[in-house]
């Protein structure tokens, strides 16, 4: 069977993924697929399109993993053709005609053509610098327009349309540095989703951000402005001058191919489909925004994904059906939480509503209940949407409301406790993750199968891995199931401490504990082990920043920290002096070269922009470091669970593209955070522009310079399981970067588990990135100042560990191979290679040292 898919957007790619998961891995399945994409690139995430202006590239937004179409099971079955515009469908011949004159035959055809932006028929709408907000190419044009200013005044941008996409677009204009305005024909913003009261709160919050809001405006014409490119003339006699106009006034289904082919269409457009997503032609399916089911078009991605799954399964002969979709939504618009569910306007006969408005905090909550008061029909949340997940599931699954439903939206106080809508009331069929169609039952099965953490649950079910909005509810299901199963999730560090690392950290800090013996006596038992001793040593160093090789701490360290170097496969150690930001003087390079030559060390440039020296015997370490410290170097902490490197590009100092001093800022950051002990190693990257030469978006902390400041990314890493860092704040000054980084790192140090990278910590953090942003950026816990002060203590008490080691006779005497002899290790054997040395192989060592072989 040959399947042709017209359109490789989010929904078209979901169709392909469903096919691949269902059948393509089976060599016996006679299936071929041709995907025809009109755009020049594969499917990308349109939901997060505005992040393109915050530093993300087209590759970052891509939904297609590198090498996806080259996978062995897909390479011979799937063909993706880009820049392939289909101009006609020949139903009789079962083929499609492309713009280049070629034709592709099909057995089954899937129309995933999506929609196009509606541009009102306003005179002047075709003028230069009038755009739509739909593709990456559109965004690139907007970006070029915004950068055209001469610097004499702030340029102005206007969005026509105050709905979901319009407000997202307004944020994009603000991110571009424009003075942003929203013009809406209706009397309020988001007229479809929120009511008058909710719209008033939303408008106030958006205007506080510096965005102009103009509602009830009918644009009659767009003409020349005096100092600006355009002037918008309104029906009420007023006008608005602007340099850029973006139309975001709704979408229309792309049904022109279906119309040409004679398929049944709706009266107002859209390709009519049935419950299997079949059109009026039994060989043709339609999915996504182009499809009309039961008289309804769906402009959200989740219903499109449901259609894609339905069509893919039906093609393969499975029993399935699309039964419509709930259009409830929750999103953050310019930092403001907005959620709408069900009958938000209370149009159901006999329904009644409860509303709560807090004008001081600018939050609004409303629920609509049935006439009997037992069932939730809808709601609106603005400014605080934390209860969205629980309310949505209550509505979708017709769970009976408590006797006083108004308490669901009232704030908690001493006399008022918001009643819980327990997840135990949800049926197994309840869809918890709509993006990936994961039910509560599937989550429960995964928990029963051993997934006892959020990270594990995400990995085995994919719930919460798309938009992330369901993570709080997924967490509730996990906790409820573990309780039902009688599973006590033991977070104890080891048999000697009935506490997690986070709990031990707080005990050390709150009780002022400064030695392992004291911690063991107060809160542990036994003598300790190889798990708790290094962990305790790490915690003590994080809190008090004490020298790790003091007699009371030295015996706790693992081998790397005990000798302040990484032990290598042949028993020698590495020497890695710090080169902050990758910068080193010529004299510094000469000094490193002289040391390497004197001690016969192997040298290599690292990925973190430093020079590694390998092959040092343990007895040589103090002498080597003495010479390096005399040359101005200090410990690079390559051996510790601490800050390793801050990688930088040359930035605005040298690069013609650079807009920020990445080297200078990288050096400042590395010198600030050097020596900070953490649950795991930490790496930074600082890029001087969005070309990203320092790979900042693959680091625990990453910074990218823009012409408006620094964008801060967190919780990325390379390695075995790479993870893209996430944008947590944008357009920051250097002082703001330092403040937020202080908070982020200290919050991580306080709350992460043993040997947990920031990426894994973030995956298991209940509330995800949004919770982390609230804590770090908005200081929701009120501990920002405390975290900053704690980091400042680390900065103020920093001392180079190697400098202290070589000047302390008792510590220096520890660096010897044998405790009772001055002899060196005769098993260390090197052989020459490429002008340097390397450890001898087993056979090479046998020729030098007699080794008994069984």
* 508-556 pLDDT per residue, tens: 999 999 999 999 999 999 999 989 999 999 999 999 999 999 999 998 9
- Return the pLDDT at 72: 66
Q: What is the spatial distance between Cα 435 and Cα 446, in angstroms, rounded to a whole number? A: 18
Residue 413 — pLDDT band, cuts 50, 70, 90? low
Is 26's pLDDT higher than 70?
no
Tokens coding 801: 């560990």
More confident residue, 792 or 763: 792
Is 853's pLDDT higher than 50?
no
With a CB cutoff of 8 Å and minimum separation 6, the contacts of 391 are 341, 367, 376, 379, 381, 408, 421
Strand pairing category for 329-333 and 336-342: antiparallel
Query: Mind giving me the DSSP string for 453-478?
Result: SHHHHHHHH-TTSSS-TTHHHHHHHH
Residue 590 — pLDDT band, cuts 50, 70, 90? very high
Is 99's pLDDT higher than 60?
yes
Question: Tell me: the pLDDT tens digits for 58-68?
Answer: 888 899 988 88
- Return the pLDDT at 739: 97
Is 460 part of any known ligand binding site? no
Q: What is the spatial distance between Cα 655 and Cα 432, in angstroms, rounded to a whole number? A: 48
Is 469's pLDDT higher than 60?
yes
Comparing 85-99, 219-233, 514-528, 766-780, which segment has the lowest mean pLDDT?
Answer: 766-780
- Return the pLDDT at 559: 84
Query: Mind giving me the DSSP string for 623-634?
Result: HHHHHHHHTT--
Is 198's pLDDT higher than 80?
yes
3-class state of residue 63 by DSSP: coil
Is 774's pLDDT higher than 70?
yes
- Return the pLDDT at 854: 43
Is 649 part of any known ligand binding site? yes
Is 388's pLDDT higher than 90?
no
Is 569's pLDDT higher than 60?
yes
Q: How many CB atoms lie within 10 A of CB 165?
A: 22
- Return the pLDDT at 760: 86
Tokens coding 331: 């999103």
For residues 208, 211, 217, 218, the Cα torsion angle rounded to the nearest 10 degrees is -160
Alpha helices in 631-683 (DSSP H): 651-654, 662-673
Query: Mind giving me the DSSP string for 132-150?
Result: ESSSHHHHHHHHHHHTT--
Is the alpha carbon torsion for 183, 188, 191, 194 positive or negative?
Answer: positive
With a CB cutoff of 8 Å and minimum separation 6, the contacts of 59 are none
3-class state of residue 713 by DSSP: strand
Is 416's pLDDT higher than 60?
no
Q: Give the whole-number percent of the chain exceeding pLDDT 90.
A: 62
Is 145 part of any known ligand binding site? no
Q: What is the spatial distance between Cα 784 and Cα 66, in angstroms, rounded to a whole number? A: 39
More confident residue, 247 or 820: 247
Residue 421 — pLDDT band, cuts 50, 70, 90? low
Find, among 218, 236, 235, 210, the residue nearest to 156 by Cα: 210
- Return the pLDDT at 414: 47
Query: Mind giving me the DSSP string for 18-42?
Result: HHIIIIIT-TT---EEEEE-SSSS-
Question: Tell me: the pLDDT tens digits for 439-463?
Answer: 899 999 999 888 888 878 888 898 8
Mean pLDDT of 253-276: 96
Question: Tell me: the pLDDT tens digits for 167-184?
Answer: 989 988 988 889 999 999
Is 852's pLDDT higher than 60?
no
- Return the pLDDT at 489: 61
Q: What is the largest CA-CA distance in the chain?
A: 99
More confident residue, 379 or 760: 379
Is 380's pLDDT higher than 90?
yes
CB 408 within 8 A of CB 421: yes
Is 415's pLDDT higher than 60?
no
Query: Mind giving me the DSSP string for 389-445?
Result: HHHHHHHHTTPPPPSSGGGGTSPP-SS--PPP--GGGS-TT-EEETTTTEEHHHHHH
| Domains, in order of start, for the chain | 2-116+253-315 (3.50.50.60), 130-249 (3.50.50.60), 501-557 (no CATH), 641-796 (3.30.413.10)
- Return the pLDDT at 126: 95
Q: What is the spatial distance between Cα 47 and Cα 566, in angstroms, rounded to a whole number? A: 45
Question: Tell me: the pLDDT tens digits for 283-317?
Answer: 999 999 999 999 999 988 889 999 999 999 999 88
Mean pLDDT of 39-47: 91
- Return the pLDDT at 224: 95
Comparing 139-153, 212-226, 304-318, 484-498, which segment has the lowest mean pLDDT?
Answer: 484-498
Q: What is the spatial distance between Cα 213 and Cα 203, in angstroms, rounded to a whole number? A: 7
Comparing 34-48, 273-287, 433-447, which segment has the lowest mean pLDDT?
Answer: 433-447
Mean pLDDT of 118-132: 95
Is 151's pLDDT higher than 80?
no
Question: Tell me: the pLDDT tens digits for 660-715?
Answer: 999 999 999 999 999 999 999 999 999 999 889 999 999 999 999 998 899 999 99
Is 412's pLDDT higher than 80?
no
Mean pLDDT of 234-253: 95
How much is the mean pLDDT over the chain? Answer: 90
- Return the pLDDT at 331: 79
Is 768's pLDDT higher than 70?
yes
Q: What is the spatial distance between Cα 458 and Cα 464, in angstroms, rounded to a whole number? A: 6
- Return the pLDDT at 27: 61
Mean pLDDT of 737-760: 94
Is 217's pLDDT higher than 90?
yes
- Return the pLDDT at 58: 84
Is 847's pLDDT higher than 80?
no
CB 721 within 8 A of CB 761: no
Tokens coding 215: 């509602």
């Amino acid at each position: 069977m040959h399947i042709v898919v017209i359109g490789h957007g989010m929904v078209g790619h979901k169709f392909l993924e469903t096919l691949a998961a269902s059948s393509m891995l089976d060599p016996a399945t006679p299936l071929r697929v041709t995907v025809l994409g009109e755009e020049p690139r594969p499917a990308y995430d349109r939901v997060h399109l505005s992040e393109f202006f915050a530093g993300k590239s087209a590759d970052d937004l891509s939904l297609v993993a590198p090498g996806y179409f080259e996978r062995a099971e897909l390479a011979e079955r799937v063909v993706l053709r880009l820049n392939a515009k289909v101009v006609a469908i020949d139903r009789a011949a079962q083929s499609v005609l492309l713009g280049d004159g070629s034709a592709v035959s099909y057995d089954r055809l899937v129309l995933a053509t999506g929609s196009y932006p509606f541009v009102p028929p306003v005179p002047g709408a075709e003028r230069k610098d009038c755009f739509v907000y739909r593709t990456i190419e559109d965004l690139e044009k907007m970006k070029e327009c915004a950068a055209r200013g001469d610097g004499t005044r702030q340029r102005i941008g206007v969005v026509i349309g105050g709905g979901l996409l319009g407000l997202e677009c307004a944020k994009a204009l603000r991110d571009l540095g424009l003075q942003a305005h929203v013009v809406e024909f209706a009397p309020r913003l988001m007229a479809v989703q929120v009511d008058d009261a909710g719209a008033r709160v939303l408008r106030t919050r958006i205007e506080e951000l510096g965005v102009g809001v103009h509602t009830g405006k009918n644009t009659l014409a767009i003409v020349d402005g005096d100092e600006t490119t355009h002037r918008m003339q309104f029906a009420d006699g007023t006008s608005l001058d602007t340099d850029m106009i973006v139309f975001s006034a709704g979408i229309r289904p792309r049904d022109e191919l279906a119309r040409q082919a004679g398929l049944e269409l709706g009266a107002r457009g859209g390709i009519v489909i049935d419950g299997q997503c079949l059109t009026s032609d039994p060989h043709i399916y339609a999915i996504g925004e182009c499809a009309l089911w039961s008289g309804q078009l769906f402009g959200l991605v989740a219903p499109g994904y449901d259609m894609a799954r339905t069509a893919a399964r039906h093609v393969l002969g499975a029993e399935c059906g699309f039964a419509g979709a709930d259009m409830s939504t929750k999103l953050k618009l310019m930092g403001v939480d907005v959620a709408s569910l069900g009958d938000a306007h209370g149009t159901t006969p006999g329904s009644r509503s409860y509303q709560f408005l807090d004008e001081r905090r600018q939050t609004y909550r409303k629920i609509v209940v049935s006439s009997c008061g037992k069932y939730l029909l809808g709601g609106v949340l603005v400014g605080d949407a934390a209860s969205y997940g629980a309310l949505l599931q209550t509505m979708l699954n017709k769970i009976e409301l408590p006797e006083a439903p108004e308490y669901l939206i009232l704030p908690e106080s001493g006399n008022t406790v918001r009643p819980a809508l327990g997840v135990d009331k949800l049926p197994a069929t309840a869809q918890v993750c709509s993006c990936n169609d994961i039910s509560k039952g599937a989550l429960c099965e995964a928990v029963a199968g051993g997934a006892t953490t959020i990270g594990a649950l995400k990995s085995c079910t994919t719930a919460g891995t798309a938009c992330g909005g369901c993570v709080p509810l997924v967490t509730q299901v996990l906790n409820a199931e573990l309780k039902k199963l009688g599973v006590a999730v033991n977070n104890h560090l080891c048999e000697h401490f009935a506490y997690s690392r986070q709990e031990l950290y707080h005990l050390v800090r709150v009780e002022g504990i400064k030695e392992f013996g004291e911690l063991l006596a107060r809160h542990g038992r036994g003598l300790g082990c190889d798990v708790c001793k290094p962990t305790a040593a790490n915690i003590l160093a994080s809190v008090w920043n004490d020298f790790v090789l003091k007699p009371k701490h030295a015996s706790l360290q693992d081998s790397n920290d005990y000798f302040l170097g990484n032990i290598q496969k042949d028993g020698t150690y590495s020497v890695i002096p710090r080169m902050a930001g990758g910068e080193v003087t010529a004299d510094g390079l000469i000094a490193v070269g002289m040391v390497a030559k004197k001690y016969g060390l192997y040298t290599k440039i690292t990925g973190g922009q430093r020079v590694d020296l390998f092959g040092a015997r343990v007895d040589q370490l103090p002498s080597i470091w003495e010479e390096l410290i005399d040359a101005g170097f200090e410990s690079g902490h390559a051996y510790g669970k601490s800050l390793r490197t801050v990688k930088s590009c040359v930035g605005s100092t040298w690069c013609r593209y650079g807009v920020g001093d990445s080297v200078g800022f990288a050096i400042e950051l590395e010198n600030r955070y050097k020596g900070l002990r953490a649950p795991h190693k930490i790496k930074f990257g600082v890029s001087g522009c969005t070309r990203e030469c320092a790979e900042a978006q693959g680091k625990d902390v990453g910074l990218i310079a823009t012409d408006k400041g620094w964008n801060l990314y967190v919780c990325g890493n390379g390695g075995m399981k790479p993870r893209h860092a996430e944008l947590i704040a944008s357009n920051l000054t250097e002082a703001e970067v330092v403040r937020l980084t202080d908070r982020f790192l200290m919050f991580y140090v306080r709350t992460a588990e043993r040997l947990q990278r920031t990426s894994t910590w973030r995956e298991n953090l209940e509330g995800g990135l949004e919770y982390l942003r609230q804590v770090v950026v908005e200081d929701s816990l009120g501990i920002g100042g405390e975290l900053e002060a704690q980091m400042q203590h680390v900065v103020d008490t920093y001392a180079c560990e190697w400098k202290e080691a070589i000047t302390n006779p008792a510590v220096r005497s520890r660096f010897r191979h044998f405790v009772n002899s001055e002899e060196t290790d005769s098993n260390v054997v090197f052989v020459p290679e490429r002008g340097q040395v390397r450890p001898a192989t087993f056979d090479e060592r046998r020729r030098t040292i007699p080794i008994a072989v069984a």
